[in-house]
Structure 1
């Protein structure tokens, strides 16, 4: 059954909304858009489309080959599309989480996080090397169950369209019931943040319930605005460097690694892992931050417990009373 590609149909709408947001935000918060950053995002989006045309057939052929060994024959009735959408979103969560925990997959996904701005153009900052990283392997159970690759590609496209609008600071919070179930701009701002509190949180595509169920949810806090980008920002708007910098870094690390185990570690362990412990993973960053938080809380608690000296008491007695 031939199905259209929803994302291809949505591209004109994406561009129009980016322009509308850019004009609106320029009048109120001009710092949220940086022209060079926006151009880089648009260039990465265009490159992703080209990459999809080149490699999409290979991935589709691989998926069809796996689908031949399916356990069930799932039809094309509308309700199967609904079930496929929910199932695909859960597996999107798994792929997305793996993309932050396995460096080989992170090398493709890091492109999406490399902007230090958060606006609708950031949503277009997509990978050129997704086929090479082979994250599709995590979705093999869906093909083996019996969902046709074309059906999954269709609902996956709708998933990506949904995710476009959540890349904005122009929307604060949605209604509480919506925030409880769905992914929103507030939830996804957390995901793009480098604050230690927010690292490796909110992997959801459409339904935030996966994060709440599996312990990776973190709400956005008004007293801690997100800082966007990656732990070590690129410091460049070079299009090719944005697309391939992590692959270059992996190649250098693997080449210099002293053992086979270390070489594999630089490909398969979380970003920031090193064979000698000289770098920081997100776990180390968060643990150090938590220790600092606990230390500051303890110091604050101890300050209240200190007895007031006689001179301090006299000073306080002489001090004027506060004006109501």
Structure 2
């Protein structure tokens, strides 16, 4: 594997072709997929904007990764099979915690919420990526891998592989994979739960490639046939304005901080939906209310998810 290998660039033509194929098959009644042209256009535009934003912030990320690698504890060989196996596991669990943080703290949710803003779930949704992730600094979570001795090129390649893997799970066409596969890997079924706004499903299934992290850390929720997923965010935007999709939560944070600056830390780093007087609802509150309605004891909160 070459150091300049870029999985995402290589896979981009496949992304476009499979989106077109899913649309055609859905029109012919051969696939389960709902597409709305304005929604799809926003997703594609967000993907393009994310690529541009990545180029803008890429120099900083690479410089920081290179600095960390120059101060590494070990030197991990690029060509060793064991090194790629270890990197796969470490990068995947890093992604899990990045993804969980991006749902449980409002500052990082502001950079991630656009990915969840579509009320449709199809392959184009996978391309609805952030424009502000680099500014939010979540890339810092991957620096320890460079400190350990994995080169920036290795880390970038594995992150790309993870991103490409996660593309195909954004579909309703595939209902279930074989049981052994569902037990170990992230699948369309597991990820539909993650994109759902049903109280039962909020803040679950953060996995990148391996669903085992959710099973280990108590955030796994299977998709239930008796409760179909409703997609979007708790308060849907009702808009196809791409700038609103990209920045609405940042604007919401700015307004909240300007109105009550003494609660700035809460507005920034509390769970999405946090308010000093409890007048807004976090996902933990929504889950507790839903659980109470089911007549069962409330479960331990696992984070929050709510739009501005």
The normalised TM-score by structure 2 is 0.92
Q: Name the counterpart of 1:312.
A: none
| 1:225-258: CA deviation from partner (whole Å, max 9, x where unpaired) | 0000000111000111111111111111111114
Q: Name the counterpart of 1:165.
A: 168
The yes-or-no answer on 1:151 pairing with 2:154 is yes
Partner residue of 1:49 out of 43, 47, 51: 51
- Tell me if structure 2 keeps the 8 A contact 1:85–1:152: no
Give the drift of 1:31: 7.0
Q: Name the counterpart of 1:11.
A: 12
Give the drift of 1:30: 7.9
Give the drift of 1:6: 1.1
| 1:188-241: CA deviation from partner (whole Å, max 9, x where unpaired) | 000000001000000000000000000000000000000000001110001111
| 1:155-178: CA deviation from partner (whole Å, max 9, x where unpaired) | 110111000000000000000000
The yes-or-no answer on 1:73 pairing with 2:44 is no
What are the equivalent positions in structure 2 for 1:135-214 lying under 5 Å apart? 135-214=138-217
Distance in 2 between the 1:255 and 1:67 partners?
40
Q: Which has the higher helix share?
A: 1
Partner residue of 2:230 out of 227, 232, 249: 227
Q: What is the aligned-residue RMSD (CA, Å)?
A: 1.3
Q: Name the counterpart of 1:115.
A: 118
Give the drift of 1:137: 2.1
Query: The residue matched to 1:32 in structure 2 has which SS?
Result: coil
Query: The residue matched to 1:109 in structure 2 has which SS?
Result: helix
Query: The residue matched to 1:2 in structure 2 has which SS?
Result: coil
- Tell me if structure 1 keeps the 8 A contact 2:69–2:146: yes
Partner residue of 1:38 out of 40, 49, 52: 40
Give the drift of 1:139: 2.3
Q: Name the counterpart of 1:302.
A: none
Gaps of 5+ in 2: 297-308
- Rg larger in 1 or in 2? 1
Q: Name the counterpart of 2:306.
A: none
| 1:85-130: CA deviation from partner (whole Å, max 9, x where unpaired) | 2210110001000000111111111011000000000000000111
Q: Name the counterpart of 1:269.
A: 270
Q: Name the counterpart of 2:242.
A: 239
Distance in 2 between the 1:30 and 1:99 partners?
29
- Tell me if structure 1 keeps the 8 A contact 2:33–2:122: no
The normalised TM-score by structure 1 is 0.88
